[in-house]
Every structure is written in structure tokens, then in C-alpha cells.
Amino acid sequence: MKRENVLVSEDALARQREFEAKIKEMFTAREAHPVACVDTFGCQQNVADGQKLMGMLADCGFTFTEDPKEADLVILNTCAVREHAEQRVFGNLGILTHTKKENPEQVICLCGCMAQEERVSQRVKESYRHVDLVFGPHALWKFPELLWQVYETRKRVFAVDNEDGTIAEGIPVVREKGVKAWVSIMYGCNNFCSYCIVPYVRGRERSRDPQYVLREVRELVEAGYKDITLLGQNVNSYGNDLEGDYRFPDLLEDIDKIPGEYLIRFMSSHPKDATNRLFDVMAKCSHVAKQLHLPVQSGNDRVLKEMNRRYTREKYLEEVRYARSVMPGLVITSDIIIGFPGETEAEAMDTVSLVEEVGYDALFTFIYSPRPGTRAAEMPDPISQEEKGKWFRELLEVQGEIGCSSYHNYIGRTMRVLCEGPGRTRDGCLTGKSIQNIIVDFDGDKSLIGSFVDVKITDALNWALIGELVKEN
């Protein structure tokens, strides 16, 4: 797909602003004050999409609530990665039949990755007739036009055509108040891991032009955001579709030049595209957090091949060793899948042994969940859920010991912490994230919220560190 066809034109975006104005005028004429509820499921990319939806709705004249009973418009912004999230969405759609009965004028919308799946959109069309609007990630930038169609025609609207995907710059965003912000630097995925539906619903990889990313980060820093996460299905692929040799490490270097006190994080990072240059750049950039989320998924080479991950156990370990050599004290986290179709107990234990060898600071662990439409969903899977559960518990036990030991190693150290708000470990304390992305609770005045402070660690829990504020001389 040609680059010029990826970028949504200014004229097309201006057309969407016209629909925003029409919706706003419609409610003004009714002397109505429309309220929307946007409920987002899944990953940070979905969160970023939800903030764009809210931005467009704000321009349409909507205010927001978290209670669907109070809303004139309810949006379920969905995730398709795991079966559990899908079940929750359908459960919520069922509940919304009652809110619709109480308020027949309420508009209900299903969007996001689930909506892009043909089997899901068809199910909604046939069985959830109270849903008025269904659209996938490809159509997000056209949301005002789609919503206007619902209001104007009073008919159901489905926009789930398979498209290559686009990039739309300049969509308004309503961000959460506080210190954290998300910046999408690319969309889509070309990897086609055999267990993953994302490439089918998010389309092929598209990188935003660096100028737009840099402008957005600069504006966020100037607005006071201190913890900014760069998002992509595989950030290490950033720039592959751009002209020239500008890649993700180049983007990190340019962001690092933006003046201010802030941290840059990124996710997700695919091991097949992680390079020594990336780790070298991370090491030298003062604003880039010394934290690396590097999903391994399995520690067995045969399983990795069946997953279509395109690296080996040893290649992954080499990356970890090099990253730690240039960034002593680097915090490393990962994703693990246990019970992949055809996986044996010995292969699952290879994953456990890799976890022991790496010594992760934290893990995001899952028992394999089949996703219809993926290659893995068609593979023979003779192992019972009970047996997979046993392997999973062993993994959790090993990681629990490693995590506990890792956290206790911080006792006595002084850590730089971004204070985010009230803490949970005791009354009156504050909480924040260290540069390594570890939760730290400490006593201090609320005036510190939103600033970086030094905290000396005095104790460790299995999920957080406890410390005391280091007073400045």
C-alpha cells in the first residue's frame, strides 16, 4: 500500500468535523445536553483509541459519565486478544438491553478489535438488535459520520469492511488527568503469530511520520505530562514503511532531545526485531526509562516455531544479556503463554527454566486461549485444562519467588519516583512509579503529586516497595 494512500487527507478529516458540528447543532436545537459513556477493554492501544473517541464526542457537544444508565450514548471499545475479554463484552451487551428499554433513544455502539471480526459483527447483527452502530479500528477516524448516520436514519450502521488501514492525524483527544499519557507511533502488525488475531483486525503496519510523533510528545511535556508511553503492536518495526533509514532508535534519540523532566517508555517490543542499537540508544538517552518489556511467550524452540515468533530461546537470551550489559539494573518484564496447542509438560518446563534463567522483575502470564480465525485455533490440543493449570501454577510459584527476591534487593536503595497520587498500603501515604516502573509507596505531602522525588526503600511487598522521602538539603 502506497504511503499517500495510508494518510487520511485533510479534506476527509474536515468532512468529519462537519459531521461533529451537525451533531452538536442537533442537540443544541433540542436544548439537550448529551452524555456519553465510553467503556474500554484491553490494551493501552485501545485506551488511546478510546481517548480519541472521547475527543471527537467532546467536539460533538457530549459530556461523559461512567454509568451507562445515565448515558445517551454508550460505547464498548473492545479487545479481541483473549476469550475472557470477549465474554465480558457480550455480557455487557446483554445488560445494555435493560438500559435501552428504560431509554429507547439511547444509542449503543460496539467498536474496536472485536467489532472488526466478521463472526462477531454477524452475531451482533443477528442476536443483539439493540446495538445501533458497529465499527472496527479502520473506521475509527470516521466515527462522527457513522454516528450522524445513526441519528439521521434511525437505522443500524455497520462499518467493518476489511481494509489495509490508514493513519489520521489531528483527531482530538481527551486524556486522563494526571501524569501519564499514551502516544501511538504506529498501527497494525505484520507478524502473524499463530495464536494472535491482531493482524487480522488491526491491519498491516503503518508508522506515523516522526514530525507528528515529536510534536505530540513535545505538547504533552509542555502540558505537564511526565510519564509518556509510546505504543505499537511492535514498536521495533517502526519506520519500516517510511522512506529512508529512520527507525525506532532514531525516534527515541529525537524524542530525548525535547527539553523537560519526563520519562519515555514503550510497548510492545518484539524480540525478533530488537537490536543492540536499540539497547545502546536506550542506555544513552536520559529520558528513556531503563525498563524493557520483551515478550518471550515460550522458552522452547519448537513451540516458538509453532507460534511463528521467529527467534530462538538462545537468541532471546543473547538480547537480554546484551541489554543488561549496557544498562546495569535494567528492569525486564515479559509475556508468557502456557498450554499452547501441542505443548508438552517438558516444553512448558523449558519456559519455567527460562524464567529462572532471566530472572524477570514481573511477568504477565496466561493459559492459552484459542482465538477463532488464527492458525493455532485449528491445531490439535490434547492436553486438559487441568494439566495446563498445573503447569501454570508452577510457573507462578517460580516467578513469585523471583519477584519477591528482586523486590527485596531494592531495600536500602534510593529510587527516583514519579508521584502519582494517594497510596494503598496505608492511610495518608502517596504512591508513584519508579523509573523502573515499580510501584513505590511513601509518606509525603499531596503537593508532591505530579513531581519526581527521591525515595529510600525500607521494605518490600510482593507487588510494591515501601520507602521514605529523601529530604533535600
Domain-embedded: residue 169: no
User: What count of other Cβ atoms lies within 10 Å of the Cβ of residue 291?
Assistant: 22
How far apart, in whole angstroms, are the C-alpha atoms of residue 108 and residue 38? 10
The interaxial angle of helices 345-358 and 313-326, nearest 10 deg, is: 10
Q: Collapsing DSSP states into helix, strand and coil, what is residue 50?
A: helix
Residue 244 belongs to a domain:
yes
Q: State which of 400, 423, 453 marks the end of a domain.
A: 400
Q: Are residues 303 and 420 in the same domain?
A: no
CATH code (residue 107): 3.40.50.280
Domain final position from 128, 159, 190: 159
CATH of the domain at 353: 3.80.30.20
243: Cα within 13 Å, side-chain hemisphere: 3
332 and 437: one domain? no
Yes or no: say if 273 and 236 are a contact pair by the CB < 8 Å rule. Answer: yes
CA distance 467 to 464: 10
Domain of residue 422, CATH code: 2.40.50.140
Q: What is the CB-side half-sphere exposure of residue 229 using CA atoms within 13 A?
A: 21
Which residues sit opposite 419 in a β-bridge?
Answer: 432
Q: List the one residue out of 282, 268, 293 whose CA is nearest residue 362.
A: 293
On whether residue 448 sits in a domain, the answer given is yes
Tell me: do 202 and 276 sit in the same domain: yes
Does residue 167 belong to any structural domain of this protein?
A: no
Write out the residue range of the structural domain in which residue 20 sits: 3-159
Q: Do 421 and 308 share a structural domain?
A: no
What distance, in Å, lies between the first and last C-alpha atoms of the chain? 59
Q: Classify residue 281: in a domain, yes or no.
A: yes
Residue 269 lies in a domain: yes
167 Cα distance to chain centroid: 18
Provide the β-strand partners of residue 456.
414, 468
User: Is 166 inside any structural domain?
Assistant: no
d(CA 188, CA 204): 5
Report yes or no on 296 lying in a domain.
Answer: yes
Beta bridge partners of 157: 133
- At 473 the pLDDT is 53
- Check whether residue 104 and residue 126 sit in a common domain: yes
The count of structural domains within the chain is 3
* Domain match, 152 and 231 both: no
Q: What are the strands of the beta sheet with 157-159, ordered from one edge? A: 63-64, 35-40, 73-78, 107-112, 133-135, 157-159
Q: Cβ distance 339 to 368 under 8 Å?
A: yes
pLDDT per residue rounded down to tens, the chain (473 residues)? 566 678 999 999 999 999 999 999 999 999 999 999 999 998 899 999 999 999 999 999 999 999 999 999 999 999 988 888 889 999 999 999 999 999 999 999 999 999 999 999 999 999 999 999 999 999 999 999 999 999 999 999 999 987 777 999 999 999 988 899 999 999 999 999 999 999 999 999 999 999 999 999 999 999 999 999 999 999 999 999 998 999 999 999 999 999 999 999 999 899 999 999 999 999 999 999 999 999 999 999 999 999 999 999 999 999 999 999 999 999 999 999 999 999 999 999 999 999 999 999 999 999 999 999 999 999 999 999 999 999 999 999 999 999 889 899 999 999 999 999 999 888 889 999 998 889 999 999 999 999 999 999 999 988 899 999 998 75
Look at residues 159, 188, 207 and tell me which one is the last residue of a structural domain.
159
As a whole number of angstroms, the distance between CA 52 and CA 258 comes to 24
d(CA 115, CA 122): 9
